[in-house]
Amino acid sequence: MELVIVTGMSGAGKSIAANALEDIGFYCIDNIPPKLIKPIAELSQKGQDGLTRVAIVTDMRTGKMFDDLIPTLEKISEAGIKYKLLFLDADNQKLVTRYKETRRRHPMSFGNRMSMLEAVENEREMLAPLRERADYIIDTTNTSTSAFRERITTLFLGDVSRGMTVQCMSFGFKYGCVAEADIVFDVRCLKNPFYVKELKNLTGLDKQVSDFVLDLPEAKGLVDRLLSLIDYTVPLYCKEGKSQLVIAVGCTGGKHRSVTFAELIYKHLSEQNYNTAVTHRDIDKE
């Protein structure tokens, strides 16, 4: 039985995550009081009714009952039930903007005279211990809905108990860094294919672009050093028991150099049989 518990900041995309998990075979239950998680997990563990992959969403909508989540997680562990905790996040201003666009009330604002920003800040403070416990953290600040769904799919399509997942991600610095990245490489030091007429409208997924980038004399030296560092550090993260390692590669726009290197790292780690996925956060942005 695979159990994923989804929580995080209100407005960070838990409903989208639940839909994506459901699409890849998880039985999803939304807005569950924490005390009900253990009975559901115990029922699922028995393998009854085909509940072999279960995702439970719980958050501040449950009010004071949400205070029981950490004690519940400890009881689940004590009972020998394995689970993965997925925490969804986004920066404060983005969360405020999302709530204003939907005209919904923030769960923390019920019965309280506080601004939307104050509600978000209070929630972040309360959720800090959960974020620290999370096996997976996904920041959706600069991520489109389609890219977010792809990220969930690549992360949980396989067996979530199968060791550490290495997420290779390309991004554009002009759209902001990857908040949840463990390792960040900046490849803006290399010549930009954007300024080559025949390559401008292509991406690092096109052979013409990847060949151009990797054939640069500076790139050849960078590749050797970068892969050497990865080969040394990734086993150390595995030894520490991390569930997810995010390696982010950034260039200016997130379309050419960073995509080329993210694909390179992904293929390199896949050949070593790591549980690896690759996403390109900004490849479709203008």
What confidence tens digit (pLDDT) does each residue in 123-141 have? 999 999 999 999 999 999 9
Q: Sorting pLDDT into bands at 50, 70 and 90, what band is 70?
A: very high
Using the predicted structure, report yes or no on whether residue 51 has a pLDDT greater than 90. Answer: no
Quickly tell me which residue has 């970068």 as its tokens.
226
Q: Sorting pLDDT into bands at 50, 70 and 90, what band is 162?
A: low
Residues 257/192, Cβ–Cβ less than 8 Å:
yes
In terms of pTM, does the model score above 0.75?
yes
> Coil, strand or helix: which one is 186?
strand
Q: Sorting pLDDT into bands at 50, 70 and 90, what band is 104?
A: confident
pLDDT of residue 207: 97
Question: How do residues 254-286 score in pLDDT, each as one tens digit?
Answer: 999 999 999 999 999 999 989 899 999 999 997
pLDDT of residue 150: 86
The set of residues, in sequence order, having a beta carbon less than 8 Å from that of 219 and lying 6+ positions away, is: 190, 213
What's the mean per-residue pLDDT of the chain? Answer: 92
Q: Sorting pLDDT into bands at 50, 70 and 90, what band is 102?
A: confident
Buried b or exposed e, range 120-145, using 16+ CB within 10 angstroms: bbbbbeebeebbeebbbbbbbbbbee
% pLDDT > 70, the chain: 95
pLDDT of residue 241: 81
Using the predicted structure, report yes or no on whether residue 40 has a pLDDT greater than 60. Answer: yes
